[in-house]
Chains A and B, each alone.
Chain A
Amino acid sequence: MTAIRDLAPAEFEERYRCDRFTATVLTNRFGYLVEHMCARLLTSAFSPILRDFYDFAATITGPPACGWPTPAMSASIVLFTGTMADSVRNTVEEYGVDRLEPGDVIVANDPYRNGTHVNDLLFVRPVFHAGDLAGFVNMKAHQLDMGGVVPAGFSIAKRNVYENGLVLSPRALYRAGKPVHDTWSLIFDNVRFGEILAPDMLSIVAELDLGERLLGETIERYGAAAVQGAMTYACDAAAERMSTALAAVPDGTWVGEDVIDCDAAGDDEEYRVRVTVTKRGGRAEVDFSGTSRQARTCINATPLDAKTTVGIAFKYLFDPEGWFTSGAMRAVDLVIPEGTVVSALPPDGAVFAYWEQSQVMLSAVLRALAQGVGEDAIAGDRGSADIHSANGVRPDGSSWISAAQVGGEIGAYGGNRHGDADSQMLSYQANGIGVAVESVESEVPVVVLRHEPVPDTAGAGYNRGGASMLRDTLWLAPARHHLMSLRYKRAPGFGVHGGGEGATGGIWITDEAGEETHVAGMDDGVYRYPYRVPFWETRTGARLRYVTAAGGGWGNPLEREPERVLRDVRDGYLTIEGAARDYGVVVTGDPERDPEGLRIDLEATDRLRRGR
């Protein structure tokens, strides 16, 4: 097929039913459209998972007749966007394209059909033009509760779909603009926190209204044929960019692996994700054969999650700019055996903490690709979302909940050829808002005592990774803590291109009498398994410490300029001992009392570095 750039104007118009200029204009418009829908939901949402964590996404989909192209996916939570192209199609096909009417909203949440987990409710609004189905605007958003045995669902101990939560097969939430009573009742008879879910769902529908209006105006202006042609164009262009970039990498076959420590049924079994990436010309195959069997508790993922994560890894390395589209994965084939930890089956392969599995998949794919892309490789991030949640009752009898606010949610990226990594991010697959300490303390009986990087933890490298983040909290009321920490056994922040790996993390509780318990992590070679109790209970005055894993380094640390090492010592990212050990740089002086008086001993540095 002729490359897009080489198409003559007539060929271009024949293929995309608009001229090249219009195709460019519309591609941009699709991207803006989904961002508008997200921007307004973020600031009007009630659930902390939406308003602070940005746990939602919006997409546009073209009509079935065009092959369901998805030309733009919002850049909010990347984990959703890859699954949405397929889940919108699966949902509408199962519901029945012929049953759709203007003003409908179709919802669905089954992970085995849609990817991600039951809390992520998909909302689909068909858009009609002149009586014809012209496309869809869609949102997927995490609902604070979807039923199941654990409030808000944040537990990795659930063992099957029945414990996990309410499963909604595709059904109408609105028909022709009117709410469907059965569906609302089904949901609200089964979920908790209805006072939060109801306004959140109404706000989401308001964003579908906005998206529908914007897409409608665009069709009005350019015509349905041109708009649909441009949707196809946006996907074709993404596919071609990916394929062109792949073709520029030498052919090869690379294996990557990474491991999850355990599930909540015991620490007798680790879960391994293994990928074999075979790259030939402008195409690649990613084969998950050799991946562990599905886990016994809900840390599993589904094939659509695997597809998304592979897409994210490829996008980072081969087509980093712009919006994700359904064309991005056209050049990549997936082989996924059934019943693995990334392709779990109902009813026993329960799916909740799919994102932890996505983190491990991402590590495995990035490790494999690092062998093929040379200096473009990116080091591992801290490898987990490390979400903490807690709840309890205040002395006055009122209840409180803290979700994803004061645990290990903020952590490091890995280094790459562009420079050192940030220490305070979410993860490679999430983007969101950090909650202010002052906001948390005004709502939750907790005091954040400190939150800072730990020296000498960042993966060493010519460009270093981000550091481990330590957060100490003091609890002013009795609390019950739920942990979702699955990667404390070995360092997830792998180094690349000669860089070192980041430190591992851990969790500690010090009770009100000063007695310390190592809750999670490695303790002199012994693994402290965090799920040895169903949850951790603390009394007033107890302290909780999280130390996240650190990011990996990029490039040879012995080649890092001594001035940059000195600056890290001055700024407390390295100690004087760490500088000598990891970088072979000898720094003298007192970093704490006289940071500007630090000096590099060039001669000693030279000696040390030559000896390595």
Chain B
Amino acid sequence: MLGVDVGGTFTDVVAARDGRIEVTKVPSSATDPASPVIEGAGRLGLGGVQVFNHASTMGLNAVITRALPKVGFLTTEGHRDILDRGRIWRPPARQSDTSWRRPFGDAARPLVPRYLRRGITERLLADGSVHTPLDEEQARGQLEVLRRCAVEGVAICLLNAYVDAVHERRLRELVHEELGEGVAVSISSETSSLAKEYARASTTVVDVLMKLIFTGYAHRLDERLREAGFAGELNFADCAATLLPWNEALERPFRIVFAGPAAGTMSSQRFGEALGERNLVCCDVGGTSTDVSLVVDGAPFVDNTFELEHDLIINALSTEISSVGAGGGSIVSISPTGDVVVGPSSAGSDPGPACYGRGGTQPTVTDAALLMGLLDADGFAGGALHLDEGLARKAFVSLDSPLALEQRIGFAFRIAAANIAEEVTNVVLRRGEDPRDFTLIAYGAAGPMLLPAALDLMHVRRVVVPPHPGNFSALGLLSTDLVYYDVRSAYVPLVPEAAPQIEAVFDEMERRLRGRAGRDGEVRRSFDGRLFGQSWETPFVQIPEGPIDVADLVERFHETYERRYGNRFPYIPVQGVSYRVELRVPSEKVDFGLPRGGSDSRSRSQSPRTIELRHFAGEPLEAAEYERSALPAGARLSGPAVIREGLATTFVVPGQTAEVGTFGELVIEAA
């Protein structure tokens, strides 16, 4: 079983065989992303592999950088500016910032420029009746403009098409007649048949873009894997890190626009299962940012939309992941009133932190960690890079601050930890949960170094550093199921007479899903509803299979609502809005290895080296330094301590203990 995570900088490949986990990293290629995948897979061996799971951030990166194919957008005449409008709102923190523009608006960087957004004479009303019939001559005239502009794809989203697809389907035929069979087309009523035109339109645009980005790539990849001897199933992971056979994924590829970080949540969930932990904060601290997500009662938090940029939303089920600009490369600066500020800007990997010696002059969190003695100048990233303390110090000296040098360094490290702690608290509270019920899984290159220092600020029970923290996300690709899903909108008051209508919606979706999957699996139904008078839905009210019992739906809604909002309004009628079915087909999964025994006498005899840690808490600290691979299960040590391994460093702060668990994990708690 192989998993590959194609990131912007590196392509990570992981393999699980006979209980062993192997990992490798290959630099990514912008021009030929398939090659590093083939190379990495070749290194770990494709022979006998039954399942090959693929995740990539290519789609999101293309959208964010606007390195996009040229597409047209067709909508009801008079409404082409829904893509400029979004949902209007600005980010709260940019309220009075005169430099803010809607990132996808016409005044900034639209995904489809206004002249390629064309209005079509037609109009359906909210009840599905035809107000204006489709004017085919007018439509052909608009398509002629798109043909002249040589668009490669067309997204179609007509108003109220979620009620009736008739005009969209006919328009698609006209597109093929005018622009040729080869042009990629997505229509909103098939891509995402949900009410509210902006999200449906934006989903449809992203869908046609992903068709153009992924179709050729997926075919090439499949072909080259088969040439290299692969004979199993190739699956693509989506925004919720669930898997789809690759050709199924290409039917509605908006789902796979972003599929890296969600895999980290899956990995945590799976590892949590092994540990017997059901409530987890999953925290991936990388170079530029920290991604935080939750597993509650054994399941990740899934949202019914995914936001690519501020308010650029698509109707994709996605693991809810929150990001904060704090990572190893976050830049340290001084505010006008003298506060030490960490991030949100980052030195990235180029030039990187000052200590990389690649021209960076601004101090970063990594520079602080090096000066504190946490990082080993010669052992960084498996020894691939020598870190220069002189440059790190110079960068901190250059800050214009009344603080002493050692305070700047110590504050920078602790503020970085505090920023991450705020985001963790934020994510947990937003979900109405109490952090004291959670175990935090710390991964990503900088996670094990920063997160234990934030333990007391986050109020979580403990921090667990899993094995392979540097490649932990990619392991999630070997921890997930195949999931087919569909969702439909119908505004229906939940009264007993509504049962047949709701049942019909579910039955039809389930029949189609089984047809697409070609096999059976576990069916999960849910609906999004609201109290009469509300406009925001309470999503994911779980309901059982079988005949619809409306009274039961209403009761389940009130329970879900009360958990989320703290109030119960049994006297207000409930309205069903969207109905969702997931068909879950179990797939082979990674085994996190056999419990590691504590009988290795060589490791038991390890006596730690003592190193000096500076600037963390005033006076220098004497800290024990361990090699992680040499620590046996059951070993217990006290902070201050530093535990080193190839791609990460764990820092156990004074007042904490770390214990090596049965799967090789480090469990860090307040002493």
Whether, in the assembled complex, A202 has its beta carbon less than 8 Å from a beta carbon of chain B, the answer is yes
- A7-B338, A36-B429, A435-B535 as given contacts; A316 in contact with B567, CB under 8 Å: no
Instruction: Give chain A residues whose Cβ lies under 8 Å from the Cβ of B159.
Output: 437-438
Interface string of A403-425 (1 = CB under 8 A from B): 00000001000001111111111
Q: Is the CB of B78 within 8 A of A32?
A: no
Interface string of A459-501 (1 = CB under 8 A from B): 0000000100000100000000000000000000000000000
Closest residue of A by beta carbon distance from B110: A571
Q: Is the CB of A206 within 8 A of B85?
A: no
Whether, in the assembled complex, B426 has its beta carbon less than 8 Å from a beta carbon of chain A, the answer is yes
Whether, in the assembled complex, A174 has its beta carbon less than 8 Å from a beta carbon of chain B, the answer is no
Q: How far is the CA of A593 from the CA of B427 in the complex (A)?
A: 50
Chain A nearest CB: distance from B74 CB in Å? 15
Q: Report which residue of A21, A214, A312, A573 has the largest number of chain B beta carbons within 10 angstroms of its beta carbon.
A: A21
Q: How far is the CA of A431 from the CA of B429 in the complex (A)?
A: 24
Whether, in the assembled complex, A282 has its beta carbon less than 8 Å from a beta carbon of chain B, the answer is no
- A74-B92, A196-B533, A316-B98 as given contacts; A423 in contact with B107, CB under 8 Å: yes
Instruction: Give chain B residues whose Cβ lies under 8 Å from the Cβ of A331.
Output: none
Q: Is the CB of A24 within 8 A of B340?
A: yes
Whether, in the assembled complex, B81 has its beta carbon less than 8 Å from a beta carbon of chain A, the answer is yes
Instruction: Give chain A residues whose Cβ lies under 8 Å from the Cβ of B89.
Output: 54, 431-434
Interface string of A538-577 (1 = CB under 8 A from B): 0000000000000000000000000000000011110000
The one of B92, B401, B402, B565 that contacts A206, using a Cβ cutoff of 8 Å? B565
The one of B90, B108, B113, B131 that contacts A431, using a Cβ cutoff of 8 Å? B90
Instruction: Give chain A residues whose Cβ lies under 8 Å from the Cβ of B160.
Output: 438, 441
Instruction: Give chain B residues whose Cβ lies under 8 Å from the Cβ of A450.
Output: 77-79
Q: Is the CB of B107 within 8 A of A78?
A: no
Chain A nearest CB: distance from B466 CB in Å? 28
The one of B87, B98, B534, B572 that contacts A418, using a Cβ cutoff of 8 Å? B98
Q: Is the CB of B125 within 8 A of A447?
A: yes
Whether, in the assembled complex, A154 has its beta carbon less than 8 Å from a beta carbon of chain B, the answer is no
Instruction: Give chain B residues whose Cβ lies under 8 Å from the Cβ of A312.
Output: 96
- A51-B536, A237-B337, A594-B145 as given contacts; A36 in contact with B88, CB under 8 Å: no
Q: Is the CB of B107 within 8 A of A48?
A: no
Q: How far is the CA of A75 from the CA of B572 in the complex (A)?
A: 31
Whether, in the assembled complex, A322 has its beta carbon less than 8 Å from a beta carbon of chain B, the answer is yes
Q: Is the CB of A32 within 8 A of B98?
A: no
Q: Is the CB of A410 within 8 A of B429?
A: no
Instruction: Give chain A residues whose Cβ lies under 8 Å from the Cβ of B457.
Output: 25
- A44-B534, A570-B115, A571-B114 as given contacts; A442 in contact with B126, CB under 8 Å: yes
Whether, in the assembled complex, A99 has its beta carbon less than 8 Å from a beta carbon of chain B, the answer is no
The residues in B between 324 and 365 inclusive whose CB is less than 8 angstroms from any CB of A are 334, 336-340
Q: Is the CB of B196 within 8 A of A422?
A: no
Q: Is the CB of B567 within 8 A of A206?
A: yes
Q: Is the CB of A442 within 8 A of B195?
A: yes
The one of A6, A32, A472 that contacts B426, using a Cβ cutoff of 8 Å? A32
Instruction: Give chain A residues whose Cβ lies under 8 Å from the Cβ of B567.
Output: 44, 199, 202-203, 206
The residues in B between 218 and 251 inclusive whose CB is less than 8 angstroms from any CB of A are none
The one of A25, A36, A451, A593 that contacts B418, using a Cβ cutoff of 8 Å? A25
Instruction: Give chain B residues whose Cβ lies under 8 Å from the Cβ of A39.
Output: 430
Q: How far is the CA of A237 from the CA of B338 in the complex (A)?
A: 9
Whether, in the assembled complex, B531 has its beta carbon less than 8 Å from a beta carbon of chain A, the answer is yes
The one of A35, A437, A573 that contacts B197, using a Cβ cutoff of 8 Å? A437
Interface residues on A, range: 35 or more
Whether, in the assembled complex, A185 has its beta carbon less than 8 Å from a beta carbon of chain B, the answer is no
Chain B nearest CB: distance from A301 CB in Å? 20
Whether, in the assembled complex, B23 has its beta carbon less than 8 Å from a beta carbon of chain A, the answer is no
Q: Is the CB of A316 within 8 A of B96?
A: yes
The residues in A between 426 and 458 inclusive whose CB is less than 8 angstroms from any CB of B are 426, 431-439, 441-442, 447-453
Chain B nearest CB: distance from A394 CB in Å? 13
Chain A nearest CB: distance from B667 CB in Å? 23
The one of A46, A244, A324, A472 that contacts B533, using a Cβ cutoff of 8 Å? A46
Whether, in the assembled complex, A518 has its beta carbon less than 8 Å from a beta carbon of chain B, the answer is no
Q: How far is the CA of A240 from the CA of B337 in the complex (A)?
A: 7
Instruction: Give chain B residues whose Cβ lies under 8 Å from the Cβ of A8.
Output: 402
Whether, in the assembled complex, B566 has its beta carbon less than 8 Å from a beta carbon of chain A, the answer is yes
Closest residue of B by beta carbon distance from A595: B115
- A437-B159, A439-B196, A452-B78 as given contacts; A5 in contact with B402, CB under 8 Å: yes
Q: Is the CB of B145 within 8 A of A593?
A: yes
Instruction: Give chain B residues whose Cβ lies under 8 Å from the Cβ of A591.
Output: 115
Whether, in the assembled complex, B105 has its beta carbon less than 8 Å from a beta carbon of chain A, the answer is yes
Q: Is the CB of A322 within 8 A of B402?
A: no
The one of B144, B198, B414 that contacts A21, using a Cβ cutoff of 8 Å? B414
Instruction: Give chain B residues whose Cβ lies under 8 Å from the Cβ of A571.
Output: 106, 113-115
Whether, in the assembled complex, B156 has its beta carbon less than 8 Å from a beta carbon of chain A, the answer is no
Q: Is the CB of A432 within 8 A of B107?
A: no
The one of B79, B88, B101, B196 that contacts A410, using a Cβ cutoff of 8 Å? B88
Closest residue of B by beta carbon distance from A206: B566
- A199-B567, A423-B106, A596-B148 as given contacts; A76 in contact with B92, CB under 8 Å: yes
Chain A nearest CB: distance from B433 CB in Å? 13
Q: Is the CB of B78 within 8 A of A451?
A: yes
The one of A40, A51, A431, A573 that contacts B535, using a Cβ cutoff of 8 Å? A51
Q: How far is the CA of A422 from the CA of B108 in the complex (A)?
A: 8
Chain A nearest CB: distance from B164 CB in Å? 13
Q: Is the CB of B535 within 8 A of A439?
A: yes
- A206-B567, A378-B98 as given contacts; A51 in contact with B92, CB under 8 Å: no
Whether, in the assembled complex, A52 has its beta carbon less than 8 Å from a beta carbon of chain B, the answer is yes
Q: List 15 interface pairs A-B (beta carbons < 8 Å), by A numbering.
A: A25-B418, A39-B430, A46-B533, A52-B535, A76-B92, A203-B567, A422-B102, A422-B105, A424-B84, A436-B195, A438-B197, A447-B131, A570-B115, A572-B115, A592-B145
Top-6 shortest CB links A-B = A450-B78, A5-B338, A434-B88, A75-B92, A571-B114, A595-B115
- Besides A195-B533, A410-B88, 16 other CB < 8 A contacts? A20-B340, A21-B411, A21-B418, A39-B430, A40-B565, A44-B565, A51-B535, A203-B567, A241-B337, A422-B106, A424-B81, A438-B160, A439-B195, A451-B79, A452-B78, A452-B79
Partner-A contacts on B (CB < 8 A): 77-82, 84-90, 92-93, 95-99, 101-102, 105-108, 113-115, 123, 125-126, 131, 144-145, 148-149, 159-160, 162, 195-198, 334, 336-340, 401-403, 411, 414-415, 418-419, 422, 425-426, 429-430, 457, 459, 491, 531, 533-536, 564-567, 569, 572
